[in-house]
Amino acid sequence: MKILLIGNGGREHALAWKLAQSPRVAKIYVAPGNGGTADGLSKTENIGIGSSEADFPKLVDFAVKHGVGLVVPGPEQPLVEGVEARFRRVGIPVFGPSPKAAKMEGSKTFSKDFMARHGIPTAAFGNFTDFEEARRYLESVDHNVVIKASGLAAGKGVLIPETKEEAILGLKQIMVDRAFGVAGDEVVIEERLEGDELSILTFSDGYTALDLPPAQDHKRAGDGDTGLNTGGMGAYAPAPIATPALLEEIRETITKPTIAGMRQDGYPFVGVLFTGIMLTRTGPKVLEYNVRFGDPETQTVLPLLESDLAEIMLACAEHRLDSVQFKIKPAYAATVVMSAGGYPGPYGKGDEITIGDVNRETTQIFHAGTAIKDGKLVTAGGRVIASSAVASSLREAVDRAYAGAKAVSFAGKYNRTDIGHRAFRKETEHVGGITYEQAGVSVDKGNQFVEQIKASVRSTRRSGADAEIGGFGGVFDIKAAGYTDPLLVGATDGVGTKLKIAQSMNIHNTVGIDLVGMNVNDLIVQGAEPLIFLDYYASGKLDIESAAAFVDGVAKGCRLAGCALVGGETAEMPGLYSGKDYDVNGTCIGAVERGELLPRKLSAGDVVIGLGSDGIHSNGFSLVRKIVEAAGITYFDQAPWEPTHTVGSSLLTPTRIYVKALLPLIRDNLILALAHITGGGLVENVPRVLPDDLDAEIDVKTWDLPPVFKYLAQAGRVPVDDISKTLNMGIGMVGVVSADKADEVIERLKQTGERVFKIGQLVAGSKVCRLKNTENWY
């Protein structure tokens, strides 16, 4: 097969190098090519035709005459100008998008509208053709912005202003003074995203999408990402920041929906789609689409492609990409670009280039701005030449690429000396706060954590929910769970300052149970069965061990309550929380058949029953901590009320979960009302279920005050009124049952292991809960 390759950069030299390795490629014609494609590659030949629109007829002519079987346009310009359609007309397949599909790069307003339509994550934006309107928009937003000329501007049409004044000035330059010509007829004003950038190159035939290893470019001219923007000064791949889980997220939320969306919209994508992605704190977002390979990413990723590139390209053009073998080498690659002195400003040309010995097994020298003049290799562009190397580690690949760069000499040569620095930076480095890692947020750690908790999450599976994490939201099949006419009930709650004790003691699993308990006990009092649970864990610095222990506890709580843990969120927020301190929240959704919703009709004479608590549960810990502190004991001392435990571990006893004991009785219509005893204690929680004309009379002598409450009341000398409104005093759940059913209910609850007491009755009154005999408490 003969190939016509269009372009003259380092990208095209790398493409020619890789294509020449294919046994099915006989010849590669390059238009116009460079010094590298002119010399040194056996199958290539520069044909002296350019790549601009005016050259298209000549290119088509040439291809027809020479029996070209595949056209490969390298740069975006010919693609946006419609080169694919020209060859399609004469029946020669093109590895590249149609003019319509090429608009994804050719028009930023087009691609932003596309992303908005298909729900693909990207920076907030507005599109404008009118300067006054654009200026008003700029004045109205309070985030940092990036201003982009909509049309092609050879990579220069992007302004990143630091102030509003600068932004308005830039806008005027683009829209009024026409700094980028017609490219500035339309502008996109976007929210400025912060984070690490990633280049994802995806082969597609319009249906299938195959990704090359994720690469990172180095856009600035100087070390440490300083100086002017360039076409790209080097790259490396695969970027370690792109963990398998992150790549999966990118595939599912960006790459696949893009390929599918373009097809659905009527312009299926054929070729390589280059998605520029920013890894922001809220997830990967698209910066831009390019409809061609990246430069210098191509020089980095093609050496990692094991499969036959010609085979893949032809399969894309023939819409049968699912038929090819696609293999990536398990290795790393790095590219160092060498530029002419002055670039990206004015620079000289025609300087002689010499290339010494390089190890061709591992290292390739890819030409960009080079030409052959009078038999000599000379400089002919800003980015002159690059050294790309492959190795089994990234460090080694970078070192080899630099060894290759050292072998190249020409007057004024300069290159960055820190290619790959983002991959090598330490987690503790804080440079300008531009990336996840630098900002103290570790993506890797987050993914490791997810792996760690998968099994305990899975253990909460139940009918209706598979309890697999990683989706966007938890799904529950309410019919599969057996409901016919359900009402949904939702609850959300936290654990409060009990977390402080967990953090001091470094015991993190019990508060996970508390979190579930607080939520599901709120659902059961409405008669609802807890079905799905979601948790949220936010810390200043994610500590995987404690976060995983916490989630283990949540899973255990879910098992105790019979609900599925279907999702959650772990957030790292340095600065908002200090150090490894964390806060948690949980949300539970449950269901109850319409006829079973509680409370029911209550009457004077109904019996009030109490279910024993397991200690303090999750309320009143600010008071508890104060009392402990005032008593001069630490959490590590023996608990004065429970000699087998320390103060801390006793206080951390998890909230009792009453769901499984109560649910069968609710379904048998034996329970009239339930009150979960949390903040407010008995006196404030019981009246919540009373009608206006009834009181609850509770005799506290009917159960023994557990020692922990006795100790806290005495040590803190807390008035009865106060403590009984803050702590549960030994009763975690109160139920109301009709007098004739009370014994049956109590018996059945005892059989499930509950401690149950007949604690009082309902009497005529005014929605008040009265406690009798509280003097016995002290």
Contact footprint for ligand GLY (CB under 6 A): 217, 232, 290, 294-295, 297
Closer to ligand AMP by Cβ: residue 196 or 572: 196
Phi, psi of 640 (to 5 degrees): -60, -25
In the bound state, the residue with its beta carbon closest to ligand GLY is: 294
Short-list 412, 377, 313, CA closest to 94: 313
- Minimum separation from the CB atom of position 274 to ligand GLY (A): 7
DSSP class of residue 776? Answer: G
Q: CA–CA distance from 389 to each of 220, 300, 336, 394 (Å)?
A: 21, 8, 9, 10
- Minimum separation from the CB atom of position 231 to ligand GLY (A): 6
192 near ligand AMP, rule: CB under 6 A: yes
Q: Is the peptide bond before 296 cis (omega within 30 degrees of 0)?
A: yes
Contact positions with ligand AMP (CB under 6 A) in 246-275: none
Closer to ligand AMP by Cβ: residue 224 or 471: 224
- Minimum separation from the CB atom of position 544 to ligand GLY (A): 34
103 near ligand AMP, rule: CB under 6 A: no
β-strand partners of 607: 737, 761
Please identify which residue in 190, 196, 297, 529 interacts with ligand AMP, judged by CB under 6 A.
190
Inter-residue contact 505 to 649 (CB < 8 Å): yes
Burial 735-761 (b: 16+ CB within 10 A, else e): bbbbeebbeebbebbeeeebbbbbbbb
Closer to ligand AMP by Cβ: residue 191 or 396: 191
297 near ligand AMP, rule: CB under 6 A: no
H or E stretch including 237?
strand 234-237
Inter-residue contact 36 to 61 (CB < 8 Å): no
The one segment of 189-197, 292-300, 539-547, 770-778 that binds ligand AMP by CB under 6 A? 189-197
Distance CA 232, CA 217 (A): 6
In the bound state, the residue with its beta carbon closest to ligand AMP is: 288
Short-list 715, 711, 707, 723, CA closest to 774: 723
**Pairing of β 756-764 and β 694-699:** antiparallel
Inter-residue contact 690 to 602 (CB < 8 Å): yes
Inter-residue contact 565 to 589 (CB < 8 Å): no
Place of tokens 């094991």: 306
558 near ligand AMP, rule: CB under 6 A: no
Closer to ligand GLY by Cβ: residue 297 or 695: 297
148 near ligand AMP, rule: CB under 6 A: yes
- Minimum separation from the CB atom of position 199 to ligand AMP (A): 9
- Minimum separation from the CB atom of position 162 to ligand AMP (A): 12
Inter-residue contact 62 to 29 (CB < 8 Å): yes
Q: Tell me the three-class secondary structure of 332-345, residue by residue.
A: EEEEEEEECCCCCC
- 3-class secondary-structure state, position 153: coil
Distance CA 530, CA 515 (A): 13
Sheet of 564-572: strand order equals: 486-494, 582-593, 529-539, 564-572
Inter-residue contact 187 to 125 (CB < 8 Å): no
**What binding mask, one character per residue, do residues 195-234 give for ligand AMP by CB under 6 A, x or -?**
--x---------------------x---------------
Closer to ligand AMP by Cβ: residue 149 or 309: 149
158 near ligand AMP, rule: CB under 6 A: yes
314 near ligand AMP, rule: CB under 6 A: no
Closer to ligand AMP by Cβ: residue 187 or 682: 187
276 near ligand AMP, rule: CB under 6 A: yes
Give the total of residues touching ligand AMP (CB under 6 A): 13
- Minimum separation from the CB atom of position 167 to ligand AMP (A): 13
Phi, psi of 108 (to 5 degrees): -70, -35
Closer to ligand GLY by Cβ: residue 232 or 527: 232
Short-list 412, 403, 415, CA closest to 357: 403
- Minimum separation from the CB atom of position 294 to ligand GLY (A): 3
- Minimum separation from the CB atom of position 330 to ligand GLY (A): 24
Closer to ligand GLY by Cβ: residue 183 or 450: 183
Short-list 340, 339, 392, 385, CA closest to 364: 385
Place of tokens 């690429």: 401
**Pairing of β 383-391 and β 363-367:** antiparallel
Q: How many CB atoms lie within 10 A of CB 763?
A: 13
Closer to ligand GLY by Cβ: residue 156 or 755: 156
- Minimum separation from the CB atom of position 241 to ligand GLY (A): 17
> 210-214: long-range contacts at Cβ-Cβ below 8 A with a sequence spacing of 24 or more?
210/312, 210/321, 210/326, 211/247, 211/251, 211/255, 212/237, 212/301, 212/304, 212/305, 212/328, 213/237, 213/238, 213/301, 213/304, 213/328, 213/333, 214/238, 214/239, 214/242, 214/247
Burial 565-589 (b: 16+ CB within 10 A, else e): bbbbebbbbbeebeeeebbbbbbbb
- Minimum separation from the CB atom of position 276 to ligand AMP (A): 5
Residue 295 contact, options ligand GLY, ligand AMP, none, Cβ 5-8 Å cut-off depending on partner type: ligand GLY
**How many angstroms from the chain centroid is the CA of residue 600?**
45
Closer to ligand AMP by Cβ: residue 216 or 678: 216
Distance CA 276, CA 290 (A): 8
Closer to ligand GLY by Cβ: residue 205 or 217: 217
Please count the residues of the chain: 778
679 near ligand AMP, rule: CB under 6 A: no
Distance CA 230, CA 382 (A): 9
Question: Any alpha helices (H) in 640-695, and if so which ranges?
Answer: 647-651, 659-667, 681-685
Residue 389 contact, options ligand GLY, ligand AMP, none, Cβ 5-8 Å cut-off depending on partner type: none
287 near ligand AMP, rule: CB under 6 A: yes
Residue 699 contact, options ligand GLY, ligand AMP, none, Cβ 5-8 Å cut-off depending on partner type: none
Inter-residue contact 620 to 497 (CB < 8 Å): no
422 near ligand AMP, rule: CB under 6 A: no
Closer to ligand GLY by Cβ: residue 17 or 449: 17
H or E stretch including 707?
helix 707-715
Residue 247 contact, options ligand GLY, ligand AMP, none, Cβ 5-8 Å cut-off depending on partner type: none
- Minimum separation from the CB atom of position 288 to ligand AMP (A): 4
Residue 123 contact, options ligand AMP, ligand GLY, none, Cβ 5-8 Å cut-off depending on partner type: ligand AMP
- Minimum separation from the CB atom of position 219 to ligand AMP (A): 6
146 near ligand AMP, rule: CB under 6 A: yes
Residue 297 contact, options ligand AMP, ligand GLY, none, Cβ 5-8 Å cut-off depending on partner type: ligand GLY
- Minimum separation from the CB atom of position 416 to ligand AMP (A): 16
- Minimum separation from the CB atom of position 7 to ligand GLY (A): 12
Residue 294 contact, options ligand AMP, ligand GLY, none, Cβ 5-8 Å cut-off depending on partner type: ligand GLY
- Minimum separation from the CB atom of position 295 to ligand GLY (A): 5
- 3-class secondary-structure state, position 390: strand
Residue 232 contact, options ligand GLY, ligand AMP, none, Cβ 5-8 Å cut-off depending on partner type: ligand GLY
288 near ligand AMP, rule: CB under 6 A: yes
- Minimum separation from the CB atom of position 232 to ligand GLY (A): 4
The one segment of 186-194, 401-409, 461-469, 561-569 that binds ligand AMP by CB under 6 A? 186-194
Task: Name the residues that contact ligand AMP, by CB under 6 A.
Answer: 123, 146, 148, 158, 190-193, 197, 219, 276, 287-288
